[in-house]
A and B are shown apart, each in its own frame.
Chain A
Amino acid sequence: MNLDEYKSLSDIQIMGKVGEYDSKALEELYNRYSPILYSLIKKIVEDKTKAEEVLADVFVLVWKKKNSSNISDANVYTWLITLARNKAVDIRRRDDNSAEGMPEYNDDYEDYFIIPRLSESIDALDLNKALSVKDNIEEALNKLTDAQKFVVFLAYYEGKTQSEIAKQLNIPVATVKSKIKLSLSNLKQNLVSGE
């Protein structure tokens, strides 16, 4: 099977082949996902070279964890996006001087904090489908208030926890919690009503 034939395979099929130690499948997965993962990582770590390193690490992790029980067979897209986000946030937090008390990076840490644990009953989603609803997502996000958008941004792209956001904005943690809850509920509602 040549590389062109892999292009016709679905994300799930590709991931299945990666699980069978098929390096061409990993290459196809890289070709498909590296642009969006790289863009996401670069947005988080804010450095080109570092983003490239993290991207490479993410694909090594995919290869390493290909037979892990945590790997999602049904939803490759969300699994990969979450993995890349977790890894990039970890690098950002470790580089940040304020994160001195972070635990040692070892296999246990990686399994718990970096490797995503997706819901047992998550809907299937692949890259093409995700990109096809991009406009709807943008529309749904634009309907949020600036404050809601900002907490989502701080949490997702800056990797801040709820208490860190509260500290940064000088507001109670409970307020941040309710804002985050409301932001995502509204985003979901807006997306459903926009479709």
Chain B
Amino acid sequence: MSNMESMELLQAKALGCLDPEDDALFTKLMKEDENFPWQELGHYQNLVAFLPTLLDIEVPEPEVKDEVARKLSEHGEKDKAEKDEDVNQNTIAKESEIEEDGFIIDEEPVETAELPKVGGDLAKVDNIDNGISIKGHEVPLQDLLNDEKKVMQEPLIKQQQGKTETKTTPTKPKKEFEQKKVKSYVTEFPAGVADSEGSKSKSGLIVAVILFVVTLLAVIFVYFNLSSDIQENRDKIDMLERQIGTKIMLENTSINKIFIT
């Protein structure tokens, strides 16, 4: 039955003249009818699309192309503005999520007694805290966890002193924790690295000075070597000039003799 209904409406759908209620029915049939005559519909859609080929074809003014470019540019800017707005909204949403997280941290105490056990398995654990890779860094992560313990405990203490104090700044513990995490990375984890980097820079300076001195010596050696060669060559040139001068004098004498004779 539905297939017959589809067939009744096919041509009018392809021609784009269905009344709204028939159009709604047709759309429903398209979605639900397993035997929907897709091929027939395709034939009629192509057939109707042939009709404009019979029109007198006119080329639009060149300005229309510029208008398209202008509208696309406007659309791009609008799109960008919408995306920026989405990003802002997401940021706000994330901040509110963080605030909620902060609340949870405040309300749920951390089992600090279990923390030392974690240290032994650290090298095996990945992404323990929102994407921080901890593979192979047992000591710094332990420091991190210790810091986390401290920070997580702070709001609890405050909560005991007065609940309003912690609830008015729910994001603070999280932020402090983040800051401490960063600090611990900066101060504790890279401490040894910073020392070794200092010694590396000193040895680098020494190497650079040595290289400079060696280069300077090489330049001086080359200069003197070349200048002695130049002097030697000049002497040779002088000697050759003298020899040539003598020969020319002798030859001129003989030529003069020919003209004379």
Contact = CB atoms under 8 A, between A and B. Distances in A.
B57 A180 contact: no
B239 interface: no
B26 to A, nearest CB: 10
A19 interface: no
B22 interface: yes
Given A63-B75, A163-B19, A188-B47, A55 B64 contact: yes
Nearest to B30: A117
Interface residues of A, number: 63
Contacts of B38: 119-122
Contact of A181 (B12, B51, B56, B59): B12
A81 B16 CA distance: 12
- Interface of chain B: mostly helix, strand, loop or mixed: helix
B255 interface: no
A38 B58 contact: yes
B5 to A, nearest CB: 12
Given A78-B46, A180-B17, A38 B53 contact: no
Contacts of B16: 82, 85-86, 89, 155-156, 159
Contacts of B22: 162
Interface string A170-195: 00000001001101110110010000
Interface of A: 23, 26-27, 30, 34-36, 38-40, 42-43, 51-53, 55-57, 59-60, 63-64, 75, 77-78, 81-82, 85-86, 89, 117-123, 125, 130-131, 133-134, 137-138, 141, 152, 155-156, 159-163, 165, 177, 180-181, 183-185, 187-188, 191
